[in-house]
Amino acid sequence: MSTSVLDNISDPISTIPSLEELPVAERASKDMPGRPGNMPVKGVQGFGIIKHHPPPFDPVAQFDEAFAFYEEHGYVVVDQLNNDEILALNNVCDDFHKERGTEIDVPNQGQLFFPLLNYPEFDGTVFHPKTLPLVGRILGGAENVRHIEFNYRGWQPETSDYGMVYHPDDCSGGKLTLAQRQTRRPYGPPDMLSTFTYLTDVDDTTPSFAVVPKSRRIHNIQLLRDALGEEYCEVPIQGKAGTCCIVDRSTVHTRHDPFEKDVAQQRSRRILHHVFARAGDLRNADGSLRTGNGEPLAVTTWAFSRGLIPKRLAKSNDPEVARMFSLWPSHQKEWMATDFDEDFVSDPKSARGPTKGPYRNDGSQKD
C-alpha cells in the first residue's frame, strides 16, 4: 500500500537547479536567492501585477474559513484590534516617538522600535484572543507556539525610504530553509509565522504590507511567475487600523510604496510585527525527524535586541506566558546569566526613559 502523504499546500516548487547546484556559466540568470533579482521591472516593486485580497475575516466567527484561506494562499487577513486597543497602543507609540526622536530612525527600515523589553502595554498583542487561536492552529496546536521577535515600524512620507525589494524574511536571505521547504511533505505546520498589525489606516496614500500568494516554496519572483503562471500576483494588504495579516515567514513580501505618488498626499503608517516559531518535533512522510525552525533569530548584530525577552516574560509565573517565551537564543541566555542587567541590552530602540551609555550592538560591526 502506498504510504505517500498528501501535501497540505499547493505552492509550486521550482524545477530550475539552484545556484549551488550549477557551475557559474550554466546558472539561470533568474535563479537568485532572496532579494537579488526580485526587482525585475524598472520603476515598480515586483512585476506590478496587482490583485486584491478578500475583506478581512473575523478570526473567531470565521475560524475555519480563515484557516482554510491561510492554508491555500500562505497568508490571511483578519480583524484583530478594536478601537480602544488601537487608541491605547497609539498613545504609547506617541510617547516613545516623542521620547526617542531620531534615535529610532534606521536607514531602509523607517522608524524601528522593539517594545517588548520595556513596554508591557504591548504584551496583550502577543496573546491576542482574536489571533492567537488561529496562529496556534496554523502552527499545529497552541502548545507549539513560541514568540521569537517583535518589532514596531513607523513610516513617514518623504523622510522614510521607498522601493523595498520583495523578499522572504529568513535571516539568511532565503537560503536557511529553502531546501527543506521544497522537499518536505506535508509542508505544514510551517517553521515560523509572522503577524503584521496595522495601527493606522492603510490605503492608497500609505505604504502597505504586500504578499505574493503561494510563494512559500520559491524565493525568487521571476521563478515564481514562471511556476504560477496566470496565478502569479502581488497583493497589497489594505485595511483600517486594527487589521492583521498572518503570513508564513517564508512567503515573499514587501513594504509596498503608496500607490498615490504625490508625496504631499501620502500619509504615515504604523505597523506591529510579531514572529512566532513552531516548537515540537514533526516527522516527514518517510518517518525522518523534521529539522525545521532553522535557527530562531540567530544572533546577528542587527537582530540582537529585537530577539531578547525581558524577565517578566521569560520568568513568568504564568505557565502559558513562560512557555510562549521559552525559546532562548544564545544571547538571551547570556543576558539571563547577568540577571537581566539593563546595560547588557544598551539599545536605544528598546529603551524607556533616558538611554545610558553607548549602544554596543548597532549592527555596524559584522559578526
Ligand X SMILES: O=C(O)CCC(=O)C(=O)O
Task: Point out which residues bind ligand X (CB under 6 A).
Answer: 153, 169, 209, 253-255, 271
Three cell numbers at 274?
A: 510579531
Instruction: Output the CA–CA distances (angstroms, integers) from residue 111 to 63, 122, 153, in the order listed.
Output: 33, 17, 5
Closest distance of CB 107 from Fe ion, Å: 15
Pairing of strands 253-256, 289-290: unpaired
- Per residue in 180-191, is it b (16+ CB within 10 Å) or e — as a string? bbbebeebbbbb
Closest distance of CB 273 from Fe ion, Å: 8
Closest distance of CB 255 from ligand X, Å: 3
Question: Cα(183)–Cα(53) distance, rounded to whole angstroms?
Answer: 28
Give the nearer residue to ligand X in terms of CB position, either 184 or 253. Answer: 253
Question: Cα(356)–Cα(343) distance, rounded to whole angstroms?
Answer: 7
Question: Cα(345)–Cα(353) distance, rounded to whole angstroms?
Answer: 14
Taking CB under 5 A as the criterion, which residues in 115-154 touch Fe ion? none
Contact of 224 with 215, CB cutoff 8 Å? yes
Give the nearer residue to ligand X in terms of CB position, either 295 or 318. Answer: 295
The site partner of 257 among ligand X, Fe ion, none (C-beta below 5 to 8 Å per kind) is: none
Three cell numbers at 229?
A: 503562471
The site partner of 349 among Fe ion, ligand X, none (C-beta below 5 to 8 Å per kind) is: none
Task: For the chain, report the end-to-end CA distance as a whole number of angstroms.
Answer: 51
Closest distance of CB 342 from Fe ion, Å: 29
Taking CB atoms, the residue at the shortest distance from Fe ion is 169
The site partner of 255 among ligand X, Fe ion, none (C-beta below 5 to 8 Å per kind) is: ligand X
CB atoms within 10 A of CB 160: 19
The site partner of 153 among ligand X, Fe ion, none (C-beta below 5 to 8 Å per kind) is: ligand X
Closest distance of CB 194 from ligand X, Å: 9
Closest distance of CB 327 from Fe ion, Å: 20
Closest distance of CB 283 from ligand X, Å: 31
Q: Which has the closest alpha carbon to 95: 354, 352, 333?
A: 352
Contact of 246 with 194, CB cutoff 8 Å? yes
In the chain, the largest separation of any two C-alpha atoms, in whole Å, equals 67
Stretch near Fe ion under the rule CB under 5 A, chosen from 24-32, 164-172, 256-264, 281-289:
164-172
Give the nearer residue to ligand X in terms of CB position, either 153 or 349. Answer: 153
Stretch near Fe ion under the rule CB under 5 A, chosen from 33-41, 104-112, 167-175, 176-184:
167-175
Q: Which has the closest alpha carbon to 215: 259, 164, 166?
A: 166
Give the nearer residue to Fe ion in terms of CB position, either 11 or 169. Answer: 169
| Total of residues contacting Fe ion (CB under 5 A) | 1
Cis peptide before 236 (omega within 30 of 0): no
By CB under 5 A, residue 248 contacts Fe ion: no
Contact of 174 with 218, CB cutoff 8 Å? no
| Residue from 79, 123, 169, 257 in contact with Fe ion (CB under 5 A) | 169
Stretch near Fe ion under the rule CB under 5 A, chosen from 165-173, 212-220, 272-280, 320-328:
165-173
**How many contiguous H segments (helices) and E segments (strands) does the chain have?**
10, 12
Closest distance of CB 329 from ligand X, Å: 19
Give the nearer residue to Fe ion in terms of CB position, either 67 or 114. Answer: 114
Give the nearer residue to ligand X in terms of CB position, either 275 or 321. Answer: 275
Give the nearer residue to ligand X in terms of CB position, either 217 or 255. Answer: 255
Question: If you count them, how many residues does the chain have?
Answer: 367
Closest distance of CB 223 from ligand X, Å: 20
Three cell numbers at 367?
A: 559578526
Question: Cα(193)–Cα(75) distance, rounded to whole angstroms?
Answer: 10
Give the nearer residue to ligand X in terms of CB position, either 155 or 335. Answer: 155
The site partner of 73 among ligand X, Fe ion, none (C-beta below 5 to 8 Å per kind) is: none
Phi/psi for 221 (5° steps) reads -75, -20
Q: Which chain residues interact with Fe ion by CB under 5 A?
A: 169
